[in-house]
């Protein structure tokens, strides 16, 4: 088998590009690979930039409009950059009953950003989300792919402080 | 499929199994309302208007997605259903702006009609309506988001119907919004199908929006003036200061051969008629070279006198006549008859866009395909041409046929044409290989580089039980002959020859040729047409190129150009006409008109009545829609010119009681001796003589009498139905030896020869500004 990449001028890392080369061969219809591709691309690039949309459309042989239609359907796909740590606060019924709204309000004040806003230093962004499937441990917050459960405003402060420290260490 | 019987509102109905309930009901005259359902498009079931009660089914069901079944019992109207529909409308109106008094769709809006019918005039909602500003997506497409009811018809017709996929849906649920492919604008074929199909006023047309109200217009269904497909377009006309102006073109009655379809030219390309720089006064060139506006009487007397002088002094052979691809059959016929019988010359020609005489000769009893045939075709072989650009109506029919009826398209082309996306098999060949391809298809393995694709292509075609062969101007003379010969070796084959303009085919059929009379009768056999043409010079006249060569040598004394622009099209040196007396009949000051001695302002195809023939040989009625003060039809001008020359108009146009008296050709029997042939023919066809020499139907009578292919039922034609010609009745010898003067115009979706240059809308869309491969003249 040839290992020649299908897209020599890809904007993705070689590993991801290779993954995409294979991904489009796995489905009876190429466009079925769209959602996984977008999720992987979002993880690597941070958001779905024009360049990402362009390359995904080209890889699938669909129009950019088709890709945008799908992106705009799913709230977990985003076309704007988020902070290094994306804080997603659930306010659906279980979390709401156990203080999700208060938690969101707390984060808003603490980080000084509005819903879907990014802090000026780019470390945090905040979003109110629908159920993240952690009802048993409500109220729950998802930061990137990590869950933090049974939170109170003070334990939330600890979580945020941890991430801030991580960001500072990482920056050094 | 087998029929099933079911009951709707107490009536026993029968329909083939698998038919959708909504369609079955409509077929029996039971109207079930629907916004999202549209025949021929995929099912959406988004609007919930078509809900009906099915016996033994607990909830109301959507008739648009329910196939009929044996014994099904349906109720389509009941208080319960009316309440459900009313509630749906109430929800749709929840955020609908109700700006009906200024909305373009007001008066012809499906939401308005349904609100009226179900009386949802009260609302429980108190929320403030969400307003969004209107968006301009292109010069011809505007979008008003709050008016949109999310039926997705536009998205489907653009994608499935047009294969353009320029519209999408973004977001979801109640936040869904129709989105154009370039984020804030559209890049597409600008056909306007999305606007036509929109049940409300969410998508509106740039040239029409806020111009008038639907009920203030008269709507006239006529034939598009642009390409050779002959789509029916309905023109909305309104009184203006100088006549009747065209405000809108659309496809409101879908009875034409184009079905649901219209392209940008048919929908928006009418605006040349409204231009302010149209010629509206006859002009005569003065000694100093300037044009002077004169009266009609003066212009026609002057032109007629000069023509007569030239004819009498130098003979008819010193006069040339150039006809048009865009005048009616009657005008084309009259023009060549005028040239031959009044001017006494065979120097008649027009801009040829396809080799119709060779096609007519090659057909010789074989069948010609109507555009309608493509709708139900099982298999289509497309050779050359790019219908998406040059024959958008045909491209639509082919796509529809492939999509809905599983037709197989075989296409061979030297370009990667867009229709290859619909093709079962596409063969990419070199530009010069069309003749070789025919040889290869006919069994000569050496004709074309034989590979797997070509072999499979040939095998598949040979296996087809019926086939429509449609070919472009790449095929001429002997290639057409070879192609029809190959076609005849298959079973159930019909042919179609693609030419460029609204009446290119008619111009050919009507004998705008130096060597052929109406019906492709050679000039040497003029006597076949009887007394009308009997005394013609048997020698062929000059063709268009020869006419200009003769003018260059100073030997063409006069040239009469009707609705054509040969100077631009053929790149004629203006100086070559310095010694020629030129009469130009046109709408605009074209490159040709600029060189004329007399200019006669003419009406266009939307301002006259008559018939035109599309490139598939479908004869259609043209109805007068618009009017412009100061112009006259080409028909009238030819008759007036003949009168000014002192010709007997009765011989030119058979009108009044007294027709042409001539021998029927039989030596014995009831029809021997002198008789009024025209009168006898009229009586036999239950027609009366026309009373005016300006009545195009007087000439149409003669065309039907003398050209057998045009003898189609008059009543059907007048009712606005396209009539397929009896092309097989044309019998002429092989014309392969004729000089090949076919000059394809290579128009795109956004160009239309000289006429297209005068349409602002065609030139305004962004796509028209892409560098064209071939310059439109």
Dist. CA B313–CA B690, nearest whole Å: 35
Dist. CA A8–CA A33, nearest whole Å: 20
Alpha-carbon gap: A77 to the closest alpha carbon of chain B (Å)? 11
Q: Helices in B139-273 by DSSP H: which ranges?
A: 153-156, 193-197, 264-268
Alpha-carbon gap: A86 to the closest alpha carbon of chain B (Å)? 22
- pLDDT at residue A161 above 80? yes
Query: Using a CB-CB distance cutoff of 8 angstroms, which residues of chain A are in contact with residue B160?
Result: none
**What are the E-state strand segments in B571-673?**
581-586, 598-601, 610-613, 618-622, 627-628, 661-663
Q: Helix B696-706 and helix B329-337: axis angle, to 10°? A: 80
Dist. CA B571–CA B565, nearest whole Å: 10
Query: Using a CB-CB distance cutoff of 8 angstroms, which residues of chain B are in contact with residue A69?
Result: 168-170, 179
Instruction: Indicate yes or no: CB of B166 within 8 angstroms of CB of A65.
Output: yes
Q: In Å, how far from its chain's centre is CA A100? A: 20
Instruction: Indicate yes or no: CB of B168 within 8 angstroms of CB of A73.
Output: no
Dist. CA B96–CA B199, nearest whole Å: 13
For chain B, domain boundaries:
3-77, 283-351+507-652, 356-498
**What are the E-state strand segments in A23-139?**
85-90, 124-129
Edge to edge, the sheet with strand B348-349 lists B291-293, B283-285, B598-601, B581-586, B558-562, B319-322, B348-349
Instruction: Give the residue among B228, B490, B259 at the shortest CA–CA distance from B381.
Output: B490
Alpha-carbon gap: A111 to the closest alpha carbon of chain B (Å)? 28
> Rounded mean pLDDT of A95-101?
95
SS3 A153: helix
Q: Helix B329-337 and helix B634-644: axis angle, to 10°? A: 20
Q: pLDDT at position B734, please?
A: 58
- Alpha-carbon separation of residue A2 from A5, A6, A7, A21, B720 (angstroms): 9, 10, 13, 12, 62
| Residue B573: CB atoms within 10 Å | 11
Helix or strand run (H / E) with residue B312: helix B296-314
Non-local CB neighbours of A145 within 8 Å, separated by 6+ positions:
none
**A162 at interface of B, judged by CB pairs closer than 8 A:** no
- pLDDT tens digits, B587-627: 999 999 999 999 999 999 999 999 999 999 999 999 999 99
**B171 at interface of A, judged by CB pairs closer than 8 A:** yes
Percent above pLDDT 70 for chain A? 96
Instruction: Give the residue among B516, B553, B575 at the shortest CA–CA distance from B741.
Output: B516
Dist. CA B6–CA B18, nearest whole Å: 12
- Give ∠ CA B587-B589-B591 in degrees, rounded to 5: 120
Output phi, psi for B224, to 5 deg: -60, 140
| Mutation target among B159, B168, B171, B174 for the A interface, most CBs of A within 10 A | B168
Question: What ipTM did this prediction achieve?
Answer: 0.83
**B686 at interface of A, judged by CB pairs closer than 8 A:** no
**B30 at interface of A, judged by CB pairs closer than 8 A:** no
Instruction: Indicate yes or no: CB of B179 within 8 angstroms of CB of A64.
Output: no
**A54 at interface of B, judged by CB pairs closer than 8 A:** no
Contact B227, B501 (CB under 8 A): yes
Instruction: Give the residue among B734, B736, B616, B615 at the shortest CA–CA distance from B361.
Output: B734
Name the residue in chain A with its Cα closest to that of B175: A73
- A73: nearest CB among B165, B166, B171: B171
Instruction: Indicate yes or no: CB of B179 within 8 angstroms of CB of A63.
Output: no
Dist. CA B612–CA B211, nearest whole Å: 30
SS3 B82: helix
Query: Using a CB-CB distance cutoff of 8 angstroms, which residues of chain A are in contact with residue B179?
Result: 65, 68-69
Q: Helices in B406-512 by DSSP H: which ranges?
A: 434-441, 452-463, 477-488, 504-509
Q: pLDDT at position B773, please?
A: 44
Count the alpha carbons within 13 Å of B545 in the hemisphere toward its beta carbon.
Answer: 7
Query: Using a CB-CB distance cutoff of 8 angstroms, which residues of chain A are in contact with residue B150?
Result: none
Residues of chain B with pLDDT below 50 are 660, 664, 667-672, 736, 772-777
Contact B49, B35 (CB under 8 A): yes
Query: Using a CB-CB distance cutoff of 8 angstroms, which residues of chain A are in contact with residue B170?
Result: 68-69, 72-73
Instruction: Indicate yes or no: CB of B172 within 8 angstroms of CB of A65.
Output: no
Dist. CA B526–CA B533, nearest whole Å: 6
Instruction: Indicate yes or no: CB of B181 within 8 angstroms of CB of A63.
Output: yes
Alpha-carbon gap: A64 to the closest alpha carbon of chain B (Å)? 7
Query: Using a CB-CB distance cutoff of 8 angstroms, which residues of chain A are in contact with residue B194?
Result: none
Q: Are β-strands B408-413 and B348-349 bridged in parallel, bridged antiparallel, or unpaired?
A: unpaired
Q: pLDDT at position B87, please?
A: 93
Instruction: Indicate yes or no: CB of B170 within 8 angstroms of CB of A63.
Output: no
Query: Using a CB-CB distance cutoff of 8 angstroms, which residues of chain A are in contact with residue B165?
Result: 63, 65-66
CB-based burial of residue B44 (10 Å sphere; 0-12 exposed, 13-18 middle, 19+ buried)?
buried
β partners of residue B413 = B428
Instruction: Indicate yes or no: CB of A73 within 8 angstroms of CB of B166.
Output: no
- A72: nearest CB among B166, B170, B180: B170
Output phi, psi for B548, to 5 deg: -70, -35
SS3 A88: strand
Query: Using a CB-CB distance cutoff of 8 angstroms, which residues of chain B are in contact with residue A72?
Result: 170-172
Q: In Å, how far from its chain's centre is CA B56? A: 50
Instruction: Indicate yes or no: CB of B165 within 8 angstroms of CB of A65.
Output: yes
Dist. CA B330–CA B706, nearest whole Å: 13
What is B356-498's CATH number? 3.40.228.10
**A79 at interface of B, judged by CB pairs closer than 8 A:** no
Q: pLDDT at position A170, please?
A: 73
Copy the structure tokens of residue A75. Answer: 């709230």
Instruction: Indicate yes or no: CB of A69 within 8 angstroms of CB of B180.
Output: no
Name the residue in chain B with its Cα closest to that of A70: B170
Q: pLDDT at position A9, please?
A: 86
**How many residue contacts between A and B have a Cβ separation below 8 Å?**
27
Domain B283-351+507-652 matching CATH 3.40.50.740: the answer reads yes
Name the residue in chain B with its Cα closest to that of A69: B170
Name the residue in chain B with its Cα closest to that of A50: B183
Dist. CA B621–CA B256, nearest whole Å: 11
Q: Which residue has the higher pLDDT, B272 or A171?
A: B272
* Topology of the domain covering B3-77: Ubiquitin-like (UB roll) (3.10.20)
Q: pLDDT at position B54, please?
A: 96
Copy the structure tokens of residue B456. Answer: 């499979």
Contact B146, B95 (CB under 8 A): yes
**A102 at interface of B, judged by CB pairs closer than 8 A:** no
Instruction: Indicate yes or no: CB of B171 within 8 angstroms of CB of A64.
Output: no
Q: pLDDT at position B774, please?
A: 42
Copy the structure tokens of residue B266. Answer: 């048919």
- Alpha-carbon separation of residue B725 from B222, B368, B613, B704 (angstroms): 19, 9, 9, 11
- Alpha-carbon separation of residue A164 from A106, A145, B336, B598 (angstroms): 16, 16, 90, 87
Contact B626, B237 (CB under 8 A): yes
Instruction: Give the residue among B413, B375, B415 at the shortest CA–CA distance from B394.
Output: B375
Place of tokens 């009893």: B365
β partners of residue B408 = B379
**A64 at interface of B, judged by CB pairs closer than 8 A:** yes
- A72: nearest CB among B167, B171, B180: B171
Instruction: Give the residue among B484, B488, B490, B480 at the shortest CA–CA distance from B460.
Output: B490
Q: Are β-strands B521-522 and B516-517 bridged in parallel, bridged antiparallel, or unpaired?
A: antiparallel
Helix or strand run (H / E) with residue A35: helix A34-45
Copy the structure tokens of residue A130. Answer: 């629908």
């Amino acid at each position: 088998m040839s290992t020649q990449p299908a897209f020599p001028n890809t904007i993705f890392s070689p590993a991801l590009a290779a993954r995409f080369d294979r991904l489009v061969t796995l489905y009876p219809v190429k466009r079925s690979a769209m959602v996984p591709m977008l999720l992987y691309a979002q993880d690597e690039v941070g958001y779905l930039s024009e360049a990402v949309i362009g390359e995904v459309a080209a890889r699938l042989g669909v129009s950019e409009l088709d890709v945008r239609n799908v992106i705009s359907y799913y709230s977990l796909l985003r076309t704007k950059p988020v902070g290094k740590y994306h804080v997603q606060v659930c306010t659906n019924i279980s979390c709401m009953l156990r203080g999700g709204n208060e938690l969101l309000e707390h984060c808003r004040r603490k980080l000084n950003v509005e819903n879907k806003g990014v802090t000026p230093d780019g470390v945090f962004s905040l979003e109110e989300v629908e159920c993240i499937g952690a009802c048993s441990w409500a109220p729950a917050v998802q930061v990137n792919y990590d869950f933090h459960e049974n939170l109170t405003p003070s334990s939330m402060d600890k979580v945020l402080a941890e991430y801030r420290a991580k960001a500072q260490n990482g920056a050094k | 499929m087998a029929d099933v019987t079911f009951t709707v509102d107490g009536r026993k109905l029968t329909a083939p199994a698998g038919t959708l309930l909504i369609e079955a009901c409509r077929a029996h005259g039971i109207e079930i309302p629907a916004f999202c359902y549209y025949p021929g498009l995929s099912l959406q079931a988004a609007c919930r208007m078509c809900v009906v009660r099915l016996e033994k089914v607990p909830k109301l069901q959507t008739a648009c997605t329910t196939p009929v079944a044996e014994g099904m019992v349906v109720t389509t109207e009941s208080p319960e259903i009316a309440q459900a529909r009313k509630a749906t409308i109430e929800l749709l109106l929840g955020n609908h702006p109700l700006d009906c008094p200024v909305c373009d769709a007001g008066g012809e809006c499906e939401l308005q009609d349904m609100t009226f019918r179900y009386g949802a005039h009260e609302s429980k909602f108190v929320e403030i309506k969400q307003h969004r500003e209107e968006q301009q997506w292109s010069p011809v497409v505007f979008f008003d988001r709050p008016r949109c009811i999310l039926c997705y018809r536009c998205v489907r017709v653009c994608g499935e119907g047009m294969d353009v996929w320029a519209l999408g849906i973004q977001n979801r649920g109640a936040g869904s919004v129709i989105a154009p492919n370039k984020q804030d604008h559209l890049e597409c074929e600008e056909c306007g199908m999305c606007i036509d199909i929109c049940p409300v006023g969410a998508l509106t047309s740039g040239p029409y929006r806020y111009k008038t109200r639907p009920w203030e217009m008269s709507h006239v269904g006529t034939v598009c003036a642009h390409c050779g497909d002959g789509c029916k377009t309905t023109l909305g006309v309104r009184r203006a200061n100088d006549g009747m102006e065209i405000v809108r073109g659309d496809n409101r009655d879908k009875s034409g051969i184009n079905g649901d379809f219209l392209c940008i030219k048919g929908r928006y390309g009418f605006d040349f008629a409204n231009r302010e720089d149209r010629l509206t006064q006859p002009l005569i060139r003065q000694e100093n070279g300037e044009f002077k506006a004169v009266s009609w009487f003066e212009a026609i007397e002057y032109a007629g006198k000069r023509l007569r002088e030239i004819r009498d002094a130098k003979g008819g052979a010193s006069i040339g006549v150039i006809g048009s691809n865009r005048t009616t059959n009657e005008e084309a016929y009259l023009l060549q008859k005028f040239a031959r019988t009044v001017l006494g010359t065979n120097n008649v020609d027009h801009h040829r866009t396809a080799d119709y005489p060779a096609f007519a000769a090659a057909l010789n009893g074989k069948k010609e395909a109507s555009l309608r045939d493509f709708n139900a075709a099982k298999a289509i072989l497309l050779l050359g041409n790019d219908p998406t650009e040059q024959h958008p109506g045909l491209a639509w029919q082919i796509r529809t046929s492939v999509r809905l009826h599983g037709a197989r398209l075989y296409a061979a082309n030297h370009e990667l044409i867009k229709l290859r996306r619909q093709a079962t098999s596409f063969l990419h060949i070199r530009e010069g290989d069309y003749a070789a391809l025919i040889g290869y298809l006919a069994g000569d393995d050496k004709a074309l580089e034989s590979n797997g694709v070509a072999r499979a292509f040939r095998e598949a075609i040979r296996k087809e039980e019926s086939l429509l062969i449609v070919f472009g101007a790449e095929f001429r003379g002997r290639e057409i002959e070879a192609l029809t010969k190959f076609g005849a070796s298959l079973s159930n084959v019909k042919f179609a020859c693609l030419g460029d303009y609204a009446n290119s085919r008619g111009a050919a059929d009507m004998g705008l040729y130096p060597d052929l009379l109406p019906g492709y009768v050679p000039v040497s056999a003029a006597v076949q047409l009887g007394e009308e043409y009997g005394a013609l010079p048997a020698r062929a006249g000059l063709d268009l190129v020869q006419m200009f060569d003769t003018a260059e040598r100073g030997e063409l004394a006069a040239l009469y150009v009707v609705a054509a622009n040969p100077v631009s099209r053929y790149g004629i040196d203006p100086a070559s006409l310095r010694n020629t007396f030129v009469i130009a009949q046109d709408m605009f000051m074209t490159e040709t008109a600029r060189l004329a001695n007399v200019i006669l302002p003419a009406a266009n195809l939307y301002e006259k009545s008559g018939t035109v023939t599309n490139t598939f040989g479908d004869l259609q009625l043209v109805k007068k829609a618009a009017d412009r003060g100061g112009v006259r039809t080409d028909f009238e001008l030819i008759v007036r010119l003949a009168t000014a020359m002192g010709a007997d108009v009765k011989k030119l146009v058979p009108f009044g009681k007294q027709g042409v008296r001539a021998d029927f050709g039989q030596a014995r029997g009831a029809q021997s001796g002198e008789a009024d042939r025209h009168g006898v023919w009229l009586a036999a066809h239950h027609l009366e003589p026309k009373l005016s020499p300006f009545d195009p139907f007087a000439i149409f009578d003669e065309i039907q009498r003398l050209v057998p292919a045009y003898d189609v039922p008059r009543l059907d034609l007048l009712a606005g139905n396209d009539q397929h010609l009896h092309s097989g009745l044309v019998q002429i010898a092989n014309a392969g030896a004729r000089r090949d003067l076919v000059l394809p115009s290579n128009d795109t979706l956004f160009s239309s020869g000289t006429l297209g240059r005068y349409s602002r809308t065609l030139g305004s869309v962004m796509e028209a500004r892409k560098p064209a491969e071939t310059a439109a003249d």
